[in-house]
A and B are shown apart, each in its own frame.
Chain A
Amino acid sequence: MAKIANASGGAEATGSRGHHAPPVLKVADAPRELERAPLVLNNRSLGWITDAVAGVCENPMPKWWWPAFILSAGTMGMMFSLLAYLVSTGTGVWGLNTSANWAWDITNFVFWIGIGHAGTLISAVLFLLRQKWRTSINRAAEAMTIFAVACAGIFPVFHTGRVWFALYPGYLIPMPNSNWIWPQFRSPLLWDVFAVSTYGTVSLLFWYVGLIPDLATLRDRAKTKLRKLGYGVFSLGWSNSNRHWSNYEKAYLILAGLSTPLVLSVHSIVSFDFAVSQVPGWHATIFPPYFVAGAIFSGFGMVLTLLIPMRSLFNLHDLITVRHVELMCKVLLATGSIVGYAYGMEFFIAWYGGSPYELWAFLRNRVADPFIFGPLFKVPTAPYWWAYWMMISCNVISPHLFWSRKLRTNVVFVWIVSIFVNIGMWFERFVIIVTSLHRDYLPSSWGYFTPSWVDVFTFVGSFGLFMTLFLLFIRFLPVIAISEVKGVTPQADPHHPLGGAKEHH
Chain B
Amino acid sequence: MSDIFPKWTNQVPVMGAIVAVVLGTTVAAGVTYYFTPKYTRVGYQPKQPVAFSHKIHADQLGLDCRYCHNGVEKSWFSNIPSGNTCMNCHNQVGKESPKLALVRDSFASGQPIPWVQIHQVPDYVYFNHSVHVNRGVSCVKCHGEVQKMDEVYHAKPLSMGFCLECHRDPGAQIRPNEFVTKLDWKGEFDGKKAAHDWKVQPGQSCSTCHR
Contact = CB atoms under 8 A, between A and B. Distances in A.
Interface string B26-42: 00000110011110000
Nearest to A238: B1
B1 A178 contact: no
A179 B161 contact: yes
A178 B37 contact: yes
Nearest to A179: B160
> What bracket does the count of chain A residues touching chain B fall in?
10 to 19
Contacts of A178: 36-38, 157, 159-162
B164 A180 contact: yes
A229 interface: yes
Contact of A232 (B5, B31, B38): B5
Contact of A168 (B31, B161, B164): B31
Given A232-B4, A232-B5, A180 B160 contact: yes
B4 A228 contact: yes
A18 interface: no
Interface in B1-60: 1, 4-5, 31-32, 35-38
Contacts of B5: 232
> What bracket does the count of chain B residues touching chain A fall in?
10 to 19
Q: State the main secondary structure of chain A at its contact with B.
A: loop
A500 interface: no
Contacts of B164: 180
A237 interface: yes
Contacts of A181: 160
Nearest to B40: A178
A239 B4 CA distance: 14
Nearest to B13: A236
Contacts of B1: 219, 232, 237, 239
Residue among A178, A181, A219, A239 facing the most chain B CB atoms (10 A cut-off): A178
Contacts of A176: 32
Nearest to B161: A180
A168 B164 CA distance: 19
Interface in B159-178: 159-162, 164
Nearest to A222: B4
Nearest to B39: A178
Nearest to A236: B13
Nearest to A180: B161
A228 B5 CA distance: 10
A241 to B, nearest CB: 12
Contacts of A177: 36, 161
Contacts of A232: 1, 4-5
Contacts of A229: 4
B135 to A, nearest CB: 22
A177 B36 CA distance: 8
A271 B173 CA distance: 45
Interface in A353-396: none
Nearest to B165: A180
A288 B164 CA distance: 38
A225 B162 CA distance: 59
A181 B1 CA distance: 52
Interface in B129-186: 157, 159-162, 164
A208 to B, nearest CB: 15
A239 B161 CA distance: 55
A239 B164 CA distance: 59
Interface in A177-209: 177-181
A168 B162 CA distance: 18
A228 B3 CA distance: 10
A243 to B, nearest CB: 16
Nearest to B168: A180
Nearest to A216: B1
Nearest to A228: B4
Contacts of A179: 159-161
Contacts of B36: 177-178
A219 B38 CA distance: 53
Contacts of B157: 178
A219 B35 CA distance: 45
A219 B1 CA distance: 9
Contacts of B37: 178
B151 to A, nearest CB: 26
B24 to A, nearest CB: 14
Nearest to A237: B1
A237 B6 CA distance: 12
Given A178-B159, A219-B4, A229-B4, 12 more contacts: A177-B36, A178-B36, A178-B38, A178-B160, A178-B161, A180-B160, A180-B161, A180-B164, A181-B160, A232-B1, A232-B4, A239-B1
30 contacts: A168-B31, A168-B35, A176-B32, A177-B36, A177-B161, A178-B36, A178-B37, A178-B38, A178-B157, A178-B159, A178-B160, A178-B161, A178-B162, A179-B159, A179-B160, A179-B161, A180-B160, A180-B161, A180-B164, A181-B160, A219-B1, A219-B4, A225-B4, A228-B4, A229-B4, A232-B1, A232-B4, A232-B5, A237-B1, A239-B1
9 closest residue pairs by CB, A with B: A179-B160, A180-B161, A178-B36, A178-B159, A232-B4, A180-B164, A178-B161, A228-B4, A178-B37
Interface of A: 168, 176-181, 219, 225, 228-229, 232, 237, 239
